[in-house]
Structure 1
Amino acid sequence: MNALIPHADTRPSSPAGALPVAGAWHVRAADPALEEVAATVRALLAPHLPDAAGGAPRELALGLDDVTSAAPLGIAPGGSADPVDEGYRLCVDADGITCLARTPEGVFRGATTALQLIATAPVTGELPYQELADAPRYAWRGLMVDPARTFLTPDEVRRVIDLAALYKLNVLHLHLTDNEGWRIELPGTPGLTAADADFYTAADYRALQEYAARRFVTVVPEIDLPGHCATLRAAVPGLPPAPAPAGLADRFPFVPPLDLTDGATRTAVTRILTEVCALTTGPYVHIGADEAFGATPESFDASVRELRALVRGLGKRPVAWQESARAGIGPEDIAQYWVDVAMMDLPDTAEELAARPELVAAGRSMEIIAALKKFFAPTDDDFRRVVESGGRVLLSPQSHLYLDRPYAAGFAPPEQAAEAARLGFDGYRPLGVRHTAAWDPAAYAVPDANIAGVEATVFAERFKGFEDVSLLLLPRLPSVAEAAWCGRAPAWEEYRARLAHHGRLWTDRDLPYFASTEVAWR
């Protein structure tokens, strides 16, 4: 009946009929408490109504009502003890579209459904009269982008926020720091951004959070420590390296991780996190804790514990990558699960390596691959460690939810063959849209008490700018959003029929997308 993503069960209204969607629409708040929501919905709807003049406008009415739904699983991004009720009811009839919910968040989610109905309407230009009731399975539904490696301007970040909101995602995780760049202004350590014109001022960052909040999206900043710290080391010279495992020095190139037991290092990091926490309106700050290559387990343990304590002492709740679980983990800790050795899909022999041209082109040797497998071997126990210790798992598996994976050349239309060859991280096997859409969050059997939520990521090692981000997110992000909202993978044939209509929505919003030949775009 419709092309909604995430999927929502609908039933025909009685009497039967159809609502024309072309032309002008009036967004009306039926309750004064929804005036700001209505204004945001008008802005989101505008790109899809280029010929809005003429004729009596249809009405998109937003109202509060006693709509109840099952509580979602996981952690509330807004920081409340219980997740906010985002359930809603929607009706299409002769008067227009009506969205009702118990909370403004629920009303907004319903309004994005209405927007999709309008933007992906059938070629007849009419929407059948219908009713639906809908609510999310997971409370935390996120997307991580990586301005540390390839800067996104504040306006480009706003476009990402709009895209996330349109697919009912409610967290934007900003990977703000890495070896390649430091993208948030901190007056207490001006050297962090002194050498680079591309960063968010404190005012930029506040404004982005306000913009996201109006779309019920929580911004989670990531300050990636104790590894990935080249920019911090350049800004604060003289910080000692963390104690390294025996025999590692000078064998592989890496930036020495920080040692949080060192007084000068702890002082510098405390100053940084104090400013970040003060600037952040949301309840979470991500401390990184991944890939601390070159630190002993004891050093890593001490650093992670110190980072967590600092963030908690500053009134925020720390989030960290899964490796942080090795420093102990409990019910208040959130570990973002992203990798194990099998998921890395690395060859075991020289013959297998020769059959992986993307790895050969990236300069991977069997020695490097063996070192990677050894370094990542402890990841095989991280997931179990989190669950058995009572921690919370944020599902972001590299195998499916890392959207910087290259597209397989066989699915590229001729006009995008060069982009398919250029885009994506060169360490991943190129695959198609169907691969991402097959991801099922239920397959991990995370106990309800241990789930935090779901988050896609798009790292930026090989990006050139916003257009590349958009091409890698689209068309793969919507299936992740559906899995997070519905709690299951969609059936491919039915899903791709819905997805085929969304190219129009993205074109309306001037968002480039990869027109994979797996989908018969409409």
Structure 2
Amino acid sequence: MNAVIPHASAEPAPRVGGEALPATGPWRVTAADPALGQLADTVRALLAPHLPGRLLPAGNDDPAAHPLVLVLDDGPPVAAPRTTVGVAPDGGAHPADEAYRLRVAADGIECRARTVEGVFRAATSAVQLIATAGAGGELPLQKATDAPRYAWRGLMVDPARTFLSLDELRRIIDLAALYKLNVLHLHLTDNEGWRIELPGFPGLTPAASGGQARTFYTVAEYRSLQEYAARRFVTVVPEIDLPGHCGKLREAVPGLAEAPAPAGLKERFPFVPPLDLTDGATRATVARLLAEVCELTDGPFVHIGADEAFGATAESFAASVHELRAIVRACGKSPVAWQESARAGIEPRDIVQHWVDVPMMDLPDTEEELANRPELVAAGHTTAFIKALKKFFAPTDHDVERVIEAGGKVLLSPQSHLYLDRPYAAEFTPPEQAEVAGHLGFGSYRPQGVRYAASWDPAAYPIPETRVAGVEATLFAEQFKGFDDVTVLLLPRLASVAEAAWCGRPPKWAEYRERLARHGRLWNQRGLDHHASTEVPWVD
């Protein structure tokens, strides 16, 4: 069975030399062009967990081994992404040519493309075929030609709230690359933590004491992470969340000006005051800070946050967002921001990340409706609190309209399906995972199953195709206890997001669940825990 995710349209290949290609080894990775030497090393590293003892080292060209051959050629172009924002290997903010051709014959696998990146996308399909076949399985002979629908296909993780080690981030990058995602968005700062070293601001990342492990990335580590990701054609996008979510920044840099708050708000609700970037000293401090982030970042994008600036007037918030965008652009980077930034005005070059509107929040209106939502009751929600929440988020209902009317671009990350911190539905959780699944996920979200996540359609929004920047899943970390929690929340749902982002449509559930069932093997081979939803007929 062809279990590749994202789905690639394939046709049977001539049965020359046999009926199928055995997955049994040994295997060797061969670069047919000197320009693919480093890529061959990367592919070999991705294959290694799936071929223990059966993958030959570089330089061993034993003719008895099955070859996985990487080829650059000048074949006809397949298709270009239908979005205009991408991340190219040269560091530009334009789409790359990721189209590829794959051939599985009885004597081996051939990965062809016009670009190195395209060859890599073909190779990740080959890795999936080998991994999901199992040690004694067979690969069906086939030919496939494929290209992505969306140029930006991302995953956001949140080390600000729960720190992830450098090695854990590398494992996430490998997982993203295997599913043809090409952006890793790092939520590096929040009220709970600041996770990137900036030499000009040592107070943000003080040295650990008392034998505690360090919980930030040094300059050298951040650079090495970007290099590791680039070899897998994944671009790192750092997020410095401002003007709200700035509690840790306020602790480390006293004296930053507070944004003027709406009348009476301080007396009713506690909050961390957002920054006021119209204050000259505060703007100068933030400008120096963001300049260091931009200098350390290889890719073309820096995310400025701009979400949930609770405690700032509309005028103050708009002024701060305007300043943040200007600072990042002056440093030679393109700013990305959450959808609230649309209220500060939009230009055609702006990228806005859509994550919420009031209907998407799925909140009850009455006491009776609230009583039927045990997750909200357990989280302490009352009808009065929900009413206030809806009022605060009411402007989100028109944020996307603002972007479209002004000619900006929308990055799709709807909370309803692409926020992977949503709890799993208990009715689909196997008994042995009930305790683990019970503490995972944001408590206010309605629990859902894997099929629900896989039903998401990126084309279901009233957004012109040319205004869609791409697709990005998010995984915020309020409820994490460690890396295994991260992977259980990601898997298996990340796979369907990757399919929708690459193919531009949701998979057909009946056949998708059969493909997905074989990916438990792949995750197990990589040592990644996953939610073994009873909706899927998992294959051992």
TM superposition score normalised by structure 2: 0.95
Among candidates 76, 79, 87, match of residue 86 of structure 2: 76
- Render the CA deviation track for 1:150-192: whole Å, top value 9, x for unaligned: 0000000000000000000000000000000000001111111
In the comparison of the two structures, how many residue pairs are matched? 522
| Larger displacement relative to structure 2 (14-23 or 384-393) | 14-23
2:193 is matched with 181
CA–CA distance in structure 1, aligned partners of residues 13 and 516 of structure 2 = 24
Counterparts in 2 of 1:171 and 1:183: CA distance versus 1, 3 Å: same
- 1:248–1:294: 8 Å Cα contact kept in structure 2? yes
Alignment deviations for residues 215-270 of structure 1 (CA, whole Å, 9 cap, x no partner): 00000000000000000000111222101111211311211110001122112111
Q: State the Cα deviation string for residues 265-293 of structure 1 (Å, max 9, x = none).
A: 11211111011000000000000000000
Structure 2 match to 1:462: 479
Q: 1:43 aligns with which of 36, 42, 45?
A: 45
1:30 to 20, 25, 32: 32
Paired with 1:364 and 1:8, the residues of 2 have a C-alpha distance of 45
Partner in structure 1 of residue 70 of structure 2: 62
1:313-350 C-alpha deviation (Å, 9 max, x unpaired): 00000000000011011111000000000001111011
Correspondence 1:325 to 2:342? yes
Q: Is the 8 A contact 1:277 1:316 kept in 2?
A: yes
Is 1:361 the counterpart of 2:378? The answer is yes
What's the counterpart of residue 14 of structure 2?
A: 14
Is the 8 Å Cα contact of residues 76 and 83 (structure 1) preserved in structure 2?
yes
CA shift in 2, pair 1:255/1:513, >3 Å: same
User: How far 1:448 moved relative to its partner?
Assistant: 2.3
Q: How does 1:300-449 map to 2 (within 5 A)?
A: 300-449=317-466
Counterpart position of 2:282: 265
Name the CA distance, whole Å, in 2 between partners of 1:386 and 1:392: 7
What is the CA-CA distance between 1:446 and the residue it aligns to?
A: 2.0
Mark the CA change 1:293 to 1:195 in structure 2 (over 3 Å): closer, same or farther: farther
In the TM superposition, what whole-angstrom CA distance separates every residue of 1:398-438 from its partner, at most 9, and x where no partner exists?
00000000001111101000111100001100011011000
Distance 2:55 2:247 in 1: 54
Pick the aligned partner of 2:159 from 147, 150, 162: 147
Structure 1 residue 363, shift from structure 2 partner: 1.3
CA contact under 8 A between 1:69 and 1:85: conserved in structure 2? Answer: no
| SS state at 2:484 partner | helix
Q: Which amino acid aligns with 1:39?
A: D
Distance apart, 1:389 and its partner CA: 0.7
Of stretches 70-79 and 30-39 in structure 1, the one that deviates more from structure 2 is 70-79
In structure 2, distance between residues paired with 1:501 and 1:299: 52
Q: What is the deviation of 1:81? A: 5.8
d(CA) in 2 for partners of 1:501 and 1:274? Answer: 45
Percent identity between the two aligned chains = 72
TM-superposed deviation, 1:122: 6.3
Secondary structure of 2:397's aligned partner? helix
2:503 corresponds, among 486, 491, 494, to: 486
Quick one: structure 1 residues 208 and 81, their matched pair in 2 at CA, closer, same or farther if it must change by over 3 Å? Answer: closer
Query: Offset of 1:123 from its aligned partner?
Result: 7.8
- Aligned counterparts of 1:352 and 1:241: Cα–Cα separation in 2: 38
**1:121 aligns to 2:133 (yes or no):** yes
SS at match of 1:312: helix
Is the CA contact 1:437–1:480 (under 8 Å) kept in the aligned structure 2?
yes
| Maintained 8 Å contact 1:19/1:129 | yes
1:198 to 1:82, Cα distance in 2 relative to 1, 3 A: closer
Moved over 6 A (4+): none
Q: What amino acid does structure 2 have at the position aligned with 1:260?
A: L
Aligned residues of 2:87 and 2:93 also touching (Cα < 8 A): no
**1:89 to 1:511, Cα distance in 2 relative to 1, 3 A:** same
**Partners of 1:129 and 1:316 in 2: how far apart?**
45
Query: Kindly tell me: are residues 39 and 414 of structure 1, through their superposed partners in 2, closer, same or farther at Cα, counting changes over 3 Å?
Result: same
Q: Deviation at 1:483?
A: 0.2
Q: What one-letter code is carried by the residue in structure 2 that aligns with 1:73? A: R
1:59 is matched by which residue type in structure 2? P
CA contact (8 A) 1:256 1:295 kept: yes
Question: How far off is 1:449 after superposition?
Answer: 2.1
Partner residue of 2:59?
none
1:86-118 CA distances to partner (integer Å, 9 max, x unpaired)?
Answer: 000010112200000000000000000000000
**What SS class does the counterpart of residue 71 from structure 2 fall into?**
strand
Partner residue of 1:279 out of 296, 302, 309: 296
CA contact (8 A) 1:73 1:452 kept: no
Distance in 2 (alpha carbons) for counterparts of 1:236 and 1:406: 36
Contact 2:113–2:119 under 8 Å retained in 1? yes
Amino acid at match of 1:29: A
Contact 1:73 1:453 in 2 (8 A): no
- Segments of 5+ residues of structure 2 without an aligned counterpart are 57-61, 209-213
The question of whether the paired residues in 2 share the 8 Å contact of 1:171 and 1:219 is answered with yes
Secondary structure of the structure 2 residue equivalent to 1:138:
coil
CA offsets 1:53-111 (integer angstroms, 9 cap, x no match): 79921000000112312110221123536411100001011220000000000000000
**1:314 maps to amino acid:** C
Q: What residue in structure 2 maps to residue 4 of structure 1?
A: 4
1:297 matched residue in structure 2: 314
Q: CA RMSD in A?
A: 1.3
Equivalents in 2 of 1:275, 1:301: separation in Å?
Answer: 24
